[in-house]
Structure 1
Amino acid sequence: MKLTQEQLAQGINDLPSLPVVVMDLLSNIEQENVDITVLAKKVSYDQALTAKTLRLANSPSFGLQVKVTTIQQAITFLGFQTTRNLITAAAVTGCFPSGLCPGFSDRAFWRHACATAACARALARRLRFNQDVAFTAGLLHDIGRLVLVSGHPQAYGAALAYRAQHDGAMLDAERAVLGVDHVDAGVALARHWHFSDTMCQAIACHHAPESPGAGFLAAIVHVANGIVHALDLAGEPDERVPTLSGIAWDAMGLNEEAYLHLFREMELQYQEMSAILAA
């Protein structure tokens, strides 16, 4: 079943809208000077988002000695960056229906997304790149898969079966069966949700960081994605390690010792982020 661009767009239009405050965060994610008081007030208007964010903040993973009951307190004890990441993750993970597509594990998808976000953030810290931007790009790099699963579950099930039969890459299976892939769908959603151009480009090029104009963020996400697949943090039985771009790997400029430290740091951060999956 080949999907037309109109069918792809309709699937995106049928998705629930993100809360306005999260749309603001995503469209202005490269801004450093966000008014924390205004952010806390905006989030507090959305009771469901506030409840989930605070549940995450109070999870044992963060080890807070006090119970936080407001977004302002979460920012005070966890820091603005961590709280903003939790708000974004809480909103996005609750935006897509689950269990629609036989053979597709929503839980494994989010495990991989959270691990890639943690790894991208750890890489960004070492490279003096914006950690918020890297985290969010890592979290959302494969979001197009959920667009296809939500809008066209039967067709995506056929793509999963095709992949298993041919033992190939998911991108190739999607193109063969659907005529589009999760990169196309992810970019379409990113435009629909008014992501920044930097974020859209990272989603568009995370499998092809050597493409002209791909940008450094795409390279970070590409390497993070490869590391997470290699460490099998999603726990998928048919885990495949994608081909890694040597240019993107070299662009990170890290030696073997630095990568070993990165792996340890990333696995600790992933344990924090996995709280999202239980919330």
Structure 2
Amino acid sequence: MIRVCTEYLLPGMILAKKVPGVDGGILLESGTLLGDEQIGLLKKIGLSAAYVRLPVNMNFEAEVVRQAERHVRNFFIYVDPDHEALKSLFSIAVKRTAAAVASGWEMPCESALRAKNVEHLSDEFIKDVGNAAQIVRHEVGLASFPDIYFKIREVLDNPKSSARDIADVVNTDVGFSAKLLKLVNSPFFGFTATVDSVSRAVSLVGAQEISTLALGISTINYFKNIPPELMDMRTFWRHSLRCAVFAKLIAAKLKLPSERHFTAGLLHDVGRLIIFKNMAYASVEALLLARSDMVPLVEAENTVLDYNHADVGGVLLAEWGFPKALKDLIRHHHAPDVAASRKEAAIIQLADIMANVAEISSGGFYALPGMTQEDWNLLELDAHFLSKLMDMHDAHFEEITAVLL
């Protein structure tokens, strides 16, 4: 028996469970052989999915792959079908989705993907907030960023400071220092010996790198009080952590500063939280547009707001005094061609795309944003490397999530 979305049903399939009628009776009995008439009837009554048995001439594995391909195609309709990397990612997504379905995962049907409402979001709208800078000014006026990062920066800016001085600042926040040590000791960071103190972490990882990681951890804490009716924060940060893991892995492959890219991946969508907090109604409109038309959420934001979360995130990080290079990566991760370092911004863009691909087989809802062939070529990665990259992500993602969330 297999659950099949109604739009994927084929003549010859056999109902494995009865379909109730609207009057409390039975519309179709278990064991009914489905033909075009019966499938049309199920679509007419709005049934999203049916449990069926496959006829002897229909291979289970092949049918699962067919459904996975149909499902995954919804997420790739916005991107260039001839793009070298995205063709590889399509195959990866199909394989992951087929494996999930074969293991019992109930794949969302198109009716759910193209939902016309987002009931968990509240209907609020600050009408006098009209652009990214105004939203940020409103947010910054309400609260300031946790000061541990700025304390670290103050020590870093003093040429006489030592690793011990930085450790003393970090150790003033017990929760923060514990997370930092757990992160550095995770297999993902790859140190062979246990790092048992913050000063040792600073010596091994580097003062600037520890400072950058402090940004990411502090920012998670800053947004911890967003009401659940506005945003499922665990889902949000899981996506952000996926992007962070991919970004660090790609940067390490290209021999670029991996901690900075980890933090950029972690914070790449922070502007989305500011929009949710200050323009909830407009956020709902953007979500509706993205899900009903299956366009990338960033494009829906541009349509509804005339700006997007990357614009807001860039302005916010500038207000908070984040390093220019980090701010630039986040502001331009959807447009690497205008970034100060196009190659590094392309890393965050690819990491974001791969995070979305990873989520297709676990309930993702939004179409992938595109990536130009020029940006892909700039990274000089082999498309076959993407499968290895996905495997490395799978090996480390849950461990990093357990540390930071």
Q: TM-score range by the shorter chain?
A: 0.7 to 0.9
1:221 is displaced (CA, Å) by 0.7
The farther-off stretch of 131-140 and 268-277 is 268-277
Residue 259 of structure 1: aligned partner: 386
Output the TM-score relative to the length of structure 2: 0.57
Q: Stretches of 4+ moved more than 4 A in 1? A: 22-29, 54-70, 73-76, 78-86, 233-236
1:273 is displaced (CA, Å) by 1.8
Output aligned runs, 1:95-134, within 5 Å: 95-100=222-227, 102=229, 104-134=231-261
Q: Share of identical aligned residues, percent?
A: 25
Cα RMSD (Å)? 3.6
Change (3 A) 1:256 1:97: closer
The farther-off stretch of 262-271 and 116-125 is 262-271
Residue 168 of structure 1: aligned partner: 295
1:218 is displaced (CA, Å) by 0.6
Q: Distance in 2 between matches of 1:272 and 1:22?
A: 28
Output aligned runs, 1:131-170, within 5 Å: 131-170=258-297
Residue 198 of structure 2: aligned partner: 71
Residue 193 of structure 1: aligned partner: 320
Contact map agreement 1:186 1:203 (CA 8 A) in 2: yes
Q: Distance in 1 between matches of 2:275 and 2:337?
A: 26
1:220 is displaced (CA, Å) by 1.0
1:256 is displaced (CA, Å) by 3.4
1:75 is displaced (CA, Å) by 5.3
Contact map agreement 1:171 1:182 (CA 8 A) in 2: yes
1:93 aligns with 2:220: yes
Residue 357 of structure 2: aligned partner: 230
Deviations 1:157-184 (A, max 9, x none): 3432343333322123323333432112
Q: Distance in 2 between matches of 1:23 and 1:207?
A: 31
Match of 1:9 among 115, 126, 137: 137
Change (3 A) 1:54 1:150: farther
Q: Distance in 1 between matches of 2:179 and 2:343?
A: 32
Q: Distance in 2 between matches of 1:148 and 1:46?
A: 29
Residue 19 of structure 1: aligned partner: 147
Match of 2:396 among 246, 255, 269: 269
Contact map agreement 1:90 1:276 (CA 8 A) in 2: no
SS of the aligned residue for 1:256 comes to: coil
Change (3 A) 1:193 1:235: farther
Greater relative contact order (Cα 8 A, min sep 6): structure 1 or 2?
1
1:98 is displaced (CA, Å) by 4.2
Residue 217 of structure 1: aligned partner: 344
Contact map agreement 1:101 1:154 (CA 8 A) in 2: no
Change (3 A) 1:218 1:28: farther
SS of the aligned residue for 2:256 comes to: coil
Change (3 A) 1:212 1:130: closer
Q: Distance in 1 between matches of 2:297 and 2:149?
A: 33
Q: Which sections of structure 1, spanning at least 5 residues, go unmatched?
A: none
1:247 aligns with 2:377: no
SS of the aligned residue for 2:139 comes to: helix
Contact map agreement 1:223 1:248 (CA 8 A) in 2: no
SS of the aligned residue for 2:370 comes to: coil
Change (3 A) 1:164 1:54: same
Q: Which sections of structure 2, spanning at least 5 residues, go unmatched?
A: 1-124
Contact map agreement 2:230 2:276 (CA 8 A) in 1: no
Task: Return the structure number with greater helix share.
Answer: 1
Change (3 A) 1:206 1:97: same
Output the TM-score relative to the length of structure 1: 0.80
Change (3 A) 1:154 1:25: farther
Deviations 1:197-226 (A, max 9, x none): 222221121111123645321111111111
Letter in 2 for 1:40: A
The farther-off stretch of 249-258 and 151-160 is 151-160
1:49 aligns with 2:176: yes
Contact map agreement 1:144 1:185 (CA 8 A) in 2: yes
Deviations 1:96-118 (A, max 9, x none): 14453636321121111111111
Change (3 A) 1:27 1:178: farther
Deviations 1:49-105 (A, max 9, x none): 2344356567798899999774235557x8558866654332111111445363632
